[in-house]
Structure 1
Amino acid sequence: MSKYLVTGGAGFIGSNLVERLVEDGNDVVIVDDLSMGKIENLDCIPKKHITFYKRSITDFGFMSRLLITEKFDYIVLLGAVASVADSVDRPAETHSINQEANINVYETIRKHALRVKKVLFASSAAVYGDDPVLPKKETSNIVPLTPYAIDKFSSERYAIVYGKLYDIPTVCTRFFNVYGPRQNPESPYSGVLSIVQSCLKTGKTFKLFGDGEQTRDFTYIDDVIDALLLLLSTPEAKWDVYNVATGKRTSLNSVIDSFEKATGKELDIVYAEKRKGDIKDSFADVTKLKGLGYMPKYDIESGLKKYLELTVRD
């Protein structure tokens, strides 16, 4: 049994990870201010194996004391304001959460010589920006278009350089478009697929920014959790960054069509101008992660099928 810290552990990806960690017999400490996460996401997880703190990761004193006291085996940094648009509106405030809070963790580990088996920082495909070369490899051009993307890339580099300089086993992921149960469609930060699903379920109008031909590498949550566990448990996966995706691209229009066929409902769509900072096309090269043994189990059809089966129970 190992002890994990998961920041943002009441969020979409975080709660799914915590659930799997507990199923595997681990104890997990969660830090989440619930600005994006929901405490209900943890309802299905046995309480004796989790400790929850409703605190901000920008409470640097609290975070440092927690790290020193608990002596975690593994640390997973998922806590963030996961919104490109929000970072454009509030760049200084989101910078404190999306970069400075992570540096505080690295620095506490360094200063107090904390022995951890792995620190994983969750970055984003947003770092690639609108460079037209596809698919996106970990060595592709980095063209951050927003404060969100700048903070993610900078936190990656801090993790990797701190790791090498001070012998801290760090690793970074670049998530592409993750979807699945517990993604909150009411949140302005939510993934587009959860919003489509909610609009079909409730009959609400879906606002589509652009023409719908933008493509993404939509990745089902179970594949993402498999990738995280693989990177956490593989000693040679350190001081490096890995794309986490399927390696395939799908247009938003195609996904909407699949949703409509699966539900037998037609989505009411209103079109709007493309948003500032939005990227036209994106999909990943996942050769590097596959080299560690990763193999995504879900394509868009099977992922949507499972997603709908699970959410229809809600």
Structure 2
Amino acid sequence: MEDSNYQLYTTPYHHQDLSKSSFLITGGAGFIGSNLVKYLLKYGAGQVRVLDNLSTGFRKNLEEFESNPAFEFINGDIRDPATCMSACKGIDYVTHQAALGSVPRSIKDPLTTSQVNIEGFLNLLMAVKEQQVKRMVYAASSSTYGDSKELPKTEERIGAPLSPYAVTKLVNELYADVFRKTYGTDSVGLRYFNVFGPNQDPGGAYAAVIPLLMKAVLTGAAPVINGDGSQTRDFTFIENVVQANIKALLFTGNVPHTIYNVAYSERISLNELWALIKKLHGTDPGQTYGPSRAGDIHDSLANINRIKEDLGYAPLYNVQKGLEYTLNWMRNKS
């Protein structure tokens, strides 16, 4: 159920007739992927194929699309080259969201993170090349900025990675760039900044901070905030991310492999974020503070001039509007 005041994806971010195009969404049962499915089917895409092994995604995120004849689901793993090749067959555009996210998870298990995020990415790139897919847009990450303390973050200046996860995302960018130069494979990387919104799982061991805080306020439980809460993030509502993906997938022209920041370009501290969530819900369960997480940066803020200028990206949801929508969605879901 959606809030009657806010309906997602009422604004089209494309001008093409999508009924003539086929799309593959890897990780389509996950948070970002399922929102991309929603947008593409809402606007009449000819074919929307999802590839997901359901390791971190959920089939329930796709239930509303099962009856749509344009929708197809493949239960498969990007670590298998043959699966990637088959999934890309007959596809015009790929949006690659499948990955093992989370800095803490990568620190605990760097090997699996590398197998999924690097080998899986390379398998998909090979399939995109061999099946002559028109363009692949892939989920890059703001973690690539590493130990750089420069604010705001601009695409051409990064620091040293602080986690295995950040290493994998940097390698993705390097591989995509080499494939462009060597084989002419058309791809765009989107460095996401702290995405939140509907279909984000609050229950996982490595859940993001906003669904955790919202679950806490809805259940009356005091959350644990890592560090002292002064660290800042450029939280980005899901519709802004979907907009960036659609514009990157469908812009016309043959251009070099390009990396874009995807954010709203405003930052807020975790303490300010928690205060805002409590105010929106009208309760205060309190909070406790724990140790800072290894591999985390203290501050993050994106410069989004490049994606604005190149793709016409214009984010519609600031953090408060996004929080209002997401909190209402979680209330209705519970």
Q: TM-score range by the shorter chain?
A: over 0.9
Gaps of 5+ in 2: 1-18
Equivalent residue in structure 1 for 2:83, among 44, 48, 62: 62
Native 8 Å contact 2:139 2:189 kept in 1 = yes
AA of the residue aligned to 2:50: I
Are 1:297 and 2:316 matched, yes or no? yes
Determine the structure 2 residue equivalent to 1:253.
Answer: 271
Determine the structure 2 residue equivalent to 1:142.
Answer: 159
Determine the structure 1 residue equivalent to 2:12.
Answer: none
SS state at 2:120 partner: helix
Structure 2: distance between partners of 1:121 and 1:188:
24
AA of the residue aligned to 2:63: D
Deviation at 1:161, TM superposition (A): 1.7
AA of the residue aligned to 2:202: P
Determine the structure 2 residue equivalent to 1:49.
Answer: 70
SS state at 1:151 partner: helix
SS state at 2:236 partner: strand
Q: TM-score, normalised by structure 1?
A: 0.95
Structure 1: distance between partners of 2:249 and 2:139:
12
AA of the residue aligned to 2:100: V
Residues 180-229 of structure 1 show CA distances to partners (whole Å, capped at 9, x for unaligned) of: 11100001232210110011111223111100111000011011101110
Q: Give the 5 Å matches for 1:96-111.
A: 96-110=115-129
Residues 122-141 of structure 1 show CA distances to partners (whole Å, capped at 9, x for unaligned) of: 11000101211100000122
Q: Give the 5 Å matches for 1:129-168.
A: 129-168=146-185
Q: Percent identity?
A: 36
AA of the residue aligned to 2:110: P
Gaps of 5+ in 1: none
Deviation at 1:119, TM superposition (A): 0.6
Determine the structure 2 residue equivalent to 1:35.
Answer: 55
Q: Which deviates more, 233-242 or 71-80?
A: 233-242
Equivalent residue in structure 2 for 1:128, among 120, 129, 145: 145
Structure 1: distance between partners of 2:260 and 2:240:
14
- CA pair 238-183 structure 1, distance change in 2 beyond 3 A: farther
Residues 243-280 of structure 1 show CA distances to partners (whole Å, capped at 9, x for unaligned) of: 00011111111111111111011133121110110110
Native 8 Å contact 1:121 1:159 kept in 2 = no
AA of the residue aligned to 2:263: A
- CA pair 228-109 structure 1, distance change in 2 beyond 3 A: closer
- CA pair 109-17 structure 1, distance change in 2 beyond 3 A: closer
Are 1:227 and 2:244 matched, yes or no? yes
Deviation at 1:303, TM superposition (A): 1.4
Q: Which deviates more, 161-170 or 96-105?
A: 161-170
- Aligned-residue CA RMSD (Å): 1.3
SS state at 1:48 partner: coil
- The number of equivalent residue pairs is 310
Native 8 Å contact 2:78 2:124 kept in 1 = no
Are 1:311 and 2:327 matched, yes or no? no
AA of the residue aligned to 1:42: L
SS state at 2:36 partner: helix
